Amino acid sequence: MEALKGVRILDMTHVQAGPTCSQLLAWLGADVIKFENPQGDATRAQLRDVPNADSLYFTMLNCNKRSITVNMKSAEGKQVFVDLLKKCHLIMENFGPGVLDRFGFPWEKIRSINPKIVMGSIKGFGSTGPYADFKAYENVAQAMGGAMSTTGVPDGPPFVTGAQIGDTGTGLHLAIGLLAALRQAEHTGQGQYVEVAMMDGVMNLCRVKFRDHQRLAHGPLSEYSVPTYQGMGDVPRAGNDSGGGQLGNAIHCKPNGPNDWLYVVVQEAVWEDLAKRIGPEVGVPDMAADPRLATIGERRKNQNLMWALINRFAKNYTKRELMAILNPLDVPCGPIMSTADLANDEHVRGRDMWVELDHPQRGKWYNVGMPIKLSASPAVIKRSPTLGEHTEEILREVLGYDEARIAALKSAGAFSLPPKTPKKAEAL
C-alpha cells in the first residue's frame, strides 16, 4: 500500500515551488489532480527542447499527477472547482497575492465549502509584512534569505547556488507543513491554512550562517580561512570552507578540468595518517609532527599551508584516484560530480535516482528519482500528464458526473477558453 493512498490533492500550483511539493506527495501515493486553466501551466512551453511537446521544465516537476483543465472564468467551471473542493483533503496554490480572492474563493470561502480541507500556499514573502506584495523568483529568494551574501569567494561578488533552495526548498517545507496539518485534521475534523514564504524557507536552510552571525559577537571564527573578528557583523563569504568544526575544502586534481576536484574534510582523528601518507610525496616527511600543523588549533591558523600541501599532492592524481587513496584512511571526501557524472553513475542508477520515463509527446527522457526511500511503500515514478489528459476521467470517477452532464459542461465552455471573435474591419 502506498503511504498516502486515499489522500486527494487539488493542485493549483505552477512553475517550480508548488509542483515540487505536489510531486513529492504524489510519489508518496496521493492522488494529485493538477488543476490547470485551458492554456495550461506556463512551464509546459518554457525552455522547450522538443517541438510541440511539454518541456522538461514541466515534465520533471509533474510526475504521477492527473491533469484537468477548467475555465474558472465561467460559472460552470467554478462549479466544477467547488465540487472538487468537496472531494479533496488538500488544496495547494502559489498564485500572486489576491488571485483566488478575485475568482471569488478566499480561504474563508474555501473553508466554508469543506471545513476539513487543508490549504497550502506558497508566497515569495508571505501574506503579511511590508514585503508581502513583492514578486519573488528563485534568485530573489536566495538574495533576500541570506544565501547569496554568504556564498562565493571573499573578494568577489555574491553567488547564487545551483541547488534551487528558493523554489524546491520551499516546496519541501510546504510538504512537511501539509502532512502535519492533514494529521491534525484527522483528529479535529478541522482544516487549516498552511503558508510557506520562499524567503523564510531560504533563511531556515541558512541556519548555520545565523549560528556564525551570533558567534561573531563573542570572537573570531577560527575555522574560517578568511580573517574574522569580534563584532564583525556580517558573516563573510569564505569560498569552499566547510563552515563546520572540521576543516574542509575543494582540492584540484589532474587533468585540471572545471570539475576535476575532490572535496576533502580533514578531521582531527585522521590527521596523523593523512599527513604520513601525503608528507613524503610533497617533501615534508615529518608533516604529521610539524608544529605549524600538529594540532587542530594550529591547522586552523595555518590552513592555507595545509591546503597548499594537499593540493601539491593531488596534482598527480585524478579525483577518483585521490578518493581511492583517502577512503582507506577514513578521510571524508567526495568528487565534485557534474551533471554528466551523476547521470551515468552506478551508485545513482542503483538507487533509482536517475529514472528513464516515456512520454507520448517527447519520447524517452529522464527524471531525478524519489530521494525518500520507504521500505514498505517504495515510490513508482510515472510520467507527467499531458494538458487536460484526465479531465473526463476525473469528472466521472471523482465527481460522479454522467456523460450528459459532461457534454453539457463542455458545450458551456467549462473546460476550454471561449473562441476568439474576429475583429471587425475598420471603415476607411
What type of residue sits at position 290? D
Q: Is the peptide bond before 255 cis (omega within 30 degrees of 0)?
A: yes
Mark residue 279 as left, alpha or beta (left: phi above 0; alpha: psi -120 to 50; beta: remaining): alpha
Q: Which whole-number Å values give the CA distances from 300 to 25, 70, 291, 306, 329, in the listed order?
A: 44, 61, 12, 9, 21
Element at 180 (helix H, strand E): helix 168-188
Q: Which DSSP category does 384 fall into?
A: P
Q: Which whole-number Å values give the CA distances from 91 to 20, 94, 117, 119, in the listed order?
A: 14, 11, 7, 5
DSSP string across 213-233: HHHTTTS--TT-SS---TT--
The closest alpha carbon to 414, from 423, 422, 405, belongs to 405
Contact 373, 65 (CB under 8 A): no
Q: What Rg, from alpha-carbon coordinates, does the chain have? A: 27
Identify whether 167 is a catalytic site residue: yes
**3-class DSSP state of 301:** helix
Task: Give the cell for residue 292.
Answer: 605549524
Q: Give the E-state strand segments of 77-138 in sequence order.
A: 90-93, 118-123
Element at 9 (helix H, strand E): strand 8-11
Q: How many CB atoms lie within 10 A of CB 410?
A: 15
Tell me how long the chain is.
Answer: 428
**Active-site annotation holder among 11, 167, 241, 260:** 167
Q: Which long-range contacts (CB under 8 A, 24 or more apart) does 256-263 make?
A: 256/315, 259/336, 259/337, 259/338, 259/341, 260/318, 260/319, 260/336, 261/319, 261/335, 261/336, 262/314, 262/319, 262/322, 262/323, 262/326, 262/333, 262/334, 262/335, 262/336, 263/333, 263/334, 263/335, 263/336
The residues assigned a catalytic role are 167
